[in-house]
Amino acid sequence: MDGKMKQELLDVFASKLNQSVRMYMDNCARCGACIEACHVYASSPETRYTAVGRAQNLRRLFEKYHKYSGKIAPWLGEAVELDDNWMKKVYETAFTCTGCRRCMTYCPFGIDTQQFQAMAKAMLIAADMEPKVLSMLADVSVAKGENIEATKANFAEACRQLEAEVIQKWQQEAGKETIPLDVKGAHVLYVALAGKHSIIPAAAIMNAAGENWSLSYFEAVNFGAFVGNPVVTKNIAQRIIDEANRLGVREVAICECGTAYRVMRHMTGTHDFKVITFLQLIERYLRDGRIKVNKAVNNGRTTYHDPCQIARNGGVYEAPRYILSRLTDDYVDTNPTKSANWCCGGGGGLVVVGDKDFRMMSAKVKADQVRATGAKVLATGCENCHSQLSDVNEHYQLGMSVEFVSSMAANALVR
Ligand code: SF4
Ligand code: SF4
């Protein structure tokens, strides 16, 4: 690394040193409470995969460049120089962390380890060292948003081709659109992922509830958040905000995608509309009697994996459990559960970045946990988790059926 690049990276590091990060840098007591909280360490004890171990790289740099003690006695705080070796180490620790924040819930000081990872990712982006697949997917999303007018007709045609499959689950009344698009004054704007699995069950459920809804032209997924680029994250989220404002909707319901929900609900400020997960919408329909479901359709003991970005980082625990209680009499929670639930090991873009061996190794504790429930059905409410858990199911030969909560509800709809 040349001197110019080194200075640029140190400037990025300094720009992220806000009040809370400075406090987190100084306040770690090295108590170790976060160590066993990390599923990576719990699955394969290696100290570099602990929250404190990951953060230590950043602390050493802080010591070197921002502390008087680091300048006069660098050995005391284990201060280190910024160099290529440091960047490599930080790449490994940043992009093996799923951002699940389980470590934070166990830290007596509430140190938000993700603020360290955000610094690390900002420096990796500045050095052009981030996983290129994530940046590329984020760029594709941005470009698609910029050219949305040119793609609307094709998208509408693709939706028309899904109508028969929606009707198979719920016969829509004559004269009503099966997958409505661009509905001004709709109560709900539903934001899906690419792929019919994210559209068909949701459409059937909202049609069964008699909802006044509209499907968004935009995809929910936010690769800007995965790669750790706040500007791109905001750009991708803003398109949905603009669409919701243009249509004048009351609520934006985000499909089963944890990161998309967390970004829209907790990272974009306040709006004239509410942001909810689609799980919360299904729960409301069931509680209000707007949809009915048949328990006989979903067979076998069922458990639920809390997606970190919907549960621990998003605050939604009860909606999926209520839905499942209406779908089966044989529901069993995992142990631990809710805010202490283990991460699936696939978040933070890890499912996309690759290295399946690492993902499977770090998911051992998750596999053991769900196996212990004796469940035959493993339900979840996030695309990322669903992909990872499907791989975990196969790798650890769990013999379970991995399901989206929305698909289970749509398959069980009754008149
Ligand atoms: S956020 Fe999750 S993956 Fe990252 S260090 Fe904490 S517990 Fe481990
Ligand atoms: S639990 Fe908190 S204070 Fe203790 S080692 Fe981990 S980050 Fe530091």
Within 8 A by CB and 6+ apart from 27, the residues are: 109, 111
Name residue 276's beta-bridge partners.
253
Rounded Cα distance between 264 and 270, Å, is: 10
Domain segments of the chain: what residues?
Answer: 3-129, 133-287, 292-414
**Cβ neighbours around 394 below 10 Å, total:** 12
DSSP string, 344-409: -S-TTTHHHH--HHHHHHHTHHHHHHHHHTT-SEEEES-HHHHHHHHHHHHHTT---EEEEHHHHH
Q: What phi, psi does 313 have (nearest 5°)? A: -95, -5
Q: Which of 5-14, 147-156, 241-250, 361-370 has the lowest mean pLDDT?
A: 147-156
pLDDT score of 174 more than 80? no
Nearest ligand to residue 33 Cα: 2
- Virtual CA dihedral for 379, 382, 385, 388, nearest 10 degrees? 100
Q: Which CATH number fits domain 292-414: 1.20.140, 3.40.50, 3.30.420, 1.10.3470?
A: 3.40.50
Q: Take atom 3 of ligand 2 and give the residue whose Cα is closest.
A: 28
Residues with CB under 6 A from ligand 1: 37-38, 40, 51, 54, 97-103, 113, 343
Rounded Cα distance between 49 and 350, Å, is: 14
pLDDT score of 353 more than 90? no
Q: Taking the model in full, what pTM does it have?
A: 0.94
The pLDDT tens digits of the residues spanning 181-196 come to 999 999 999 999 999 9
> Is the torsion defined by CA of 340, 346, 349, 350 positive or negative?
positive
The pLDDT assigned to 20 comes to 93
The pLDDT assigned to 286 comes to 98
Q: Which of 24-28, 242-246, 269-273, 387-391 has the lowest mean pLDDT?
A: 24-28
Percentage of the residues of the chain whose pLDDT score is greater than 90: 88
The pLDDT tens digits of the residues spanning 81-125 come to 999 999 999 999 999 999 999 999 999 999 999 999 999 999 999
CB 392 within 8 A of CB 317: no
Average pLDDT (213-233) is 95
Rounded to the nearest whole angstrom, what is the distance from the C-alpha of residue 60 to the centroid of ligand 2? 15
Within 8 A by CB and 6+ apart from 26, the residues are: none
The pair of structure tokens assigned to 387 is: 């992909």
Same fold, 133-287 and 292-414: yes
Average pLDDT (338-346) is 97
CB 222 within 8 A of CB 259: yes
Rounded to the nearest whole angstrom, what is the distance from the C-alpha of residue 131 to the centroid of ligand 1? 19
pLDDT score of 74 more than 80? no
Percentage of the residues of the chain whose pLDDT score is greater than 70: 100
Which string of b and e fits 166-196 if b means at least 16 CB within 10 Å? Answer: beebbebeeeebbbbeebeebbbbbbbbeeb
What is the CATH architecture assignment of 3-129? Orthogonal Bundle (1.10)
Rounded to the nearest whole angstrom, what is the distance from the C-alpha of residue 346 to the centroid of ligand 1? 11
Rounded to the nearest whole angstrom, what is the distance from the C-alpha of residue 51 to the centroid of ligand 1? 6
The pLDDT tens digits of the residues spanning 262-286 come to 999 999 999 999 999 999 999 999 9
Rounded Cα distance between 340 and 308, Å, is: 10
> What is the assigned CATH class of domain 133-287?
alpha beta
Tell me which amino acid residue 305 is.
Answer: H
Pocket test for ligand 1, best of 103, 121, 350, 351 (most atoms within 8 A of CB): 103
The pair of structure tokens assigned to 95 is: 């992009």
